[in-house]
C-alpha cells in the first residue's frame, strides 16, 4: 500500500508544487489536502497520486480527529499559516494566535489519534531576526532574535515542537524555510508582487515603470518553491527527528538586485519610490542561510537559479493577466 500524506494549507501555493513533485515520483501516493476554503483553482490531472480535498478549519478538533482516523497519514506536511510579515505588524494578535493555535491543535490531535505520523513543522528564516553581517550564512544553531510578530509565532511553534518531541516522544522534523518564490505565489510577497506589476507593464507595452517599495537594501535568501518542496519531501522521508534544517539557496540578494534582474529579463526599466507605509517597524537587514546540513543529511541540492524563478513567475503572471 502506498504512503498517505496529510497536507494542511492544501490548496495553497507550496502545496500545489508539493503535489506536482509527488506526481513525478511515480509511486502510489494518496494525499489528503486540508484547507479552510475551496480554492478557485482546480488541481491538474494527476496519474500517480490521488488527492482527497477536505474543507476544514484547523481549529476544529473533531474534524481533525475524523480525518486522522479515516485516513491515518504516514506524513503530515503543515503548510497552513498566516505567512505575511507585513500582516503580522498590522494584526499581531490575529497573526500570532492563528499560527500558533492552529499548529497546537494539529499537534494535539496527531498526538492523540495518529502518534506514529511523522510531521514536518515548517518554520521561517524570519526566526533568526536580528543578524550581524558576520553571522551569515546562518547555521541552524544560531541564537534566534525574532523581531516581528510573525517571527515570534514561528519561534514559538519551533519551541513547542521540541516539547512535543522531547516530552511526548513525537516524530517531528523542523525547517527554517527562507523566502520562497515561484509561479503561483500570491502577490503580497515581494517577488510575486513585482512580477505582477512588470507583467502588467509588459502587456500594456510600457518600457518603464515606477514601483512603490519598502526598504530595498535588505538582503534576503530566495529559494525556488520547486526546490523547497523537494527538500520537504526529503526531510519527511530522510530527516532526523527533532532536528531543524535551513531550507535556502545559500545566496543573498538585495531587493534592488532582484529588481535589476527582473528589469533585464523584461527589458523594462524600473524606478523605485520608497513608501514609508511599506517600511516595517523592525526589519532584518540581512538574512542568508547555510543549506549545508540539509544537503549533507538528505542529498538535496538547490536546482533552480533565481533568474529562472523570476522568469517563470513573470510568465505565470503574464498568462494569468491575459486569461483574466
Q: Which of 1, 281, 322, 323 lies at the binding interface for its own copies (CB under 8 A)?
A: 281
Does residue 51 bind its own copies (CB under 8 A)?
no
Q: How far is the CB of 307 from its own copies (least distance, A)?
A: 34
Q: Which of 58, 142, 147, 306 lies at the binding interface for its own copies (CB under 8 A)?
A: 147
Q: Which of 56, 104, 211, 265 lies at the binding interface for its own copies (CB under 8 A)?
A: 104
Nearer to its own copies, 164 or 245 (CB): 164
Nearer to its own copies, 97 or 265 (CB): 97
Nearer to its own copies, 99 or 175 (CB): 99
- Interacting span for its own copies (CB under 8 A) from 5-13, 38-46, 101-109, 213-221: 101-109
Taking the C-alpha atoms of residue 195 and residue 230, their distance in angstroms, rounded to an integer, is: 24
Q: How far is the CB of 118 from its own copies (least distance, A)?
A: 19
Taking the C-alpha atoms of residue 91 and residue 272, their distance in angstroms, rounded to an integer, is: 27
Buried b (16+ CB within 10 A) or exposed e, 134-170: eebbbebebebebbbbbbbbbbbbbebbeebbeeeeb
Q: How far is the CB of 41 from its own copies (least distance, A)?
A: 32
Does residue 86 bind its own copies (CB under 8 A)?
no
Does residue 146 bind its own copies (CB under 8 A)?
yes
- 138 - beta bridge partners? 289
Q: How far is the CB of 1 from its own copies (least distance, A)?
A: 31
Residues between 105 and 144 that touch its own copies (CB under 8 A)? 105, 107-108, 143
Residues between 239 and 258 that touch its own copies (CB under 8 A)? none
Does residue 87 bind its own copies (CB under 8 A)?
no
Q: Alpha carbon of 2 to those of 45, 116, 194, 209: distances in Å?
A: 19, 16, 41, 51
* Sheet-wide strand order for 244-247: 49-55, 29-35, 3-8, 75-78, 118-124, 172-177, 244-247
Beta strands 208-213 and 269-274: pairing type?
parallel
Binding residues for its own copies, how many (CB under 8 A)?
A: 31
Nearer to its own copies, 104 or 295 (CB): 104
Of 158, 150, 175, 20, nearest to 95 by C-alpha is: 150
Nearer to its own copies, 174 or 291 (CB): 174
Buried b (16+ CB within 10 A) or exposed e, 221-247: bbbbbbbbbbbbbbbbeebeeeebbbb
What the block records as the C-alpha cell of 230 is: 523537494
Of 273, 227, 219, nearest to 247 by C-alpha is: 227
Q: How far is the CB of 126 from its own copies (least distance, A)?
A: 11
Does residue 56 bind its own copies (CB under 8 A)?
no
Q: How far is the CB of 111 from its own copies (least distance, A)?
A: 9
Is the preceding peptide bond at 295 cis, omega within 30 degrees of 0? no
Q: Which of 8, 148, 246, 298 lies at the binding interface for its own copies (CB under 8 A)?
A: 148
Residues between 160 and 179 that touch its own copies (CB under 8 A)? 160, 162-164, 166-168
DSSP, res 133: G
Does residue 25 bind its own copies (CB under 8 A)?
no
Of 186, 150, 140, nearest to 12 by C-alpha is: 186
Taking the C-alpha atoms of residue 227 and residue 247, their distance in angstroms, rounded to an integer, is: 9
> For binding to its own copies (CB under 8 A), which residues are involved?
89, 92-93, 96-97, 100-101, 104-105, 107-108, 143, 146-149, 151-152, 155-156, 159-160, 162-164, 166-168, 280-282
Amino acid at each position: 500500500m502506498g504512503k498517505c500524506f496529510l497536507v494542511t494549507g492544501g490548496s495553497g501555493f507550496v502545496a500545489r508544487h508539493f503535489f506536482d513533485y509527488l506526481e513525478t515520483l511515480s509511486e502510489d501516493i494518496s494525499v489528503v489536502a486540508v484547507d479552510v476554503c475551496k480554492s478557485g483553482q482546480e488541481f491538474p490531472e494527476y496519474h500517480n497520486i490521488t488527492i482527497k480535498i477536505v474543507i476544514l478549519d484547523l481549529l476544529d478538533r473533531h474534524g481533525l480527529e475524523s480525518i486522522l482516523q479515516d485516513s491515518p497519514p504516514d506524513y503530515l506536511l503543515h503548510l497552513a499559516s498566516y505567512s505575511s510579515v507585513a500582516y503580522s505588524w498590522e494584526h499581531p494578535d490575529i497573526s500570532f494566535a492563528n499560527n500558533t493555535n492552529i499548529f497546537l491543535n494539529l499537534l494535539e490531535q496527531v498526538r492523540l489519534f495518529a502518534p506514529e505520523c511523522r510531521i514536518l513543522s515548517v518554520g521561517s528564516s524570519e526566526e533568526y531576526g536580528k543578524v550581524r553581517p558576520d553571522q551569515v550564512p546562518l547555521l541552524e544553531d544560531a541564537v534566534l532574535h525574532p523581531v516581528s510578530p510573525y517571527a515570534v509565532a514561528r519561534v514559538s511553534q519551533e519551541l513547542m515542537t521540541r516539547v512535543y518531541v522531547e516530552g511526548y516522544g513525537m516524530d517531528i522534523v523542523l525547517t527554517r524555510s527562507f523566502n520562497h518564490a515561484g509561479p503561483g505565489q500570491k502577490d503580497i510577497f515581494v517577488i510575486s508582487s513585482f512580477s505582477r506589476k512588470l507583467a502588467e507593464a509588459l502587456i500594456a507595452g510600457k518600457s518603464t515603470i515606477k514601483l512603490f517599495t519598502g526598504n530595498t537594501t535588505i538582503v534576503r535568501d530566495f529559494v525556488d518553491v520547486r526546490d523547497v518542496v523537494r527538500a520537504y519531501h526529503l526531510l519527511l522521508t530522510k530527516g532526523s527527528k527533532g532536528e531543524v534544517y535551513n531550507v535556502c539557496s545559500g545566496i543573498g540578494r538585495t531587493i534592488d538586485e532582484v529588481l535589476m534582474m527582473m528589469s533585464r529579463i523584461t527589458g523594462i526599466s524600473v524606478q523605485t519610490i520608497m513608501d514609508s507605509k511599506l517600511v516595517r517597524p523592525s526589519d532584518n537587514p540581512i538574512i542568508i542561510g547555510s543549506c549545508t546540513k540539509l544537503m549533507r543529511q538528505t542529498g538535496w541540492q538547490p536546482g533552480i537559479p533565481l533568474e529562472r524563478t523570476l522568469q517563470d513567475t513573470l510568465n505565470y503572471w503574464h498568462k494569468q493577466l491575459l486569461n483574466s
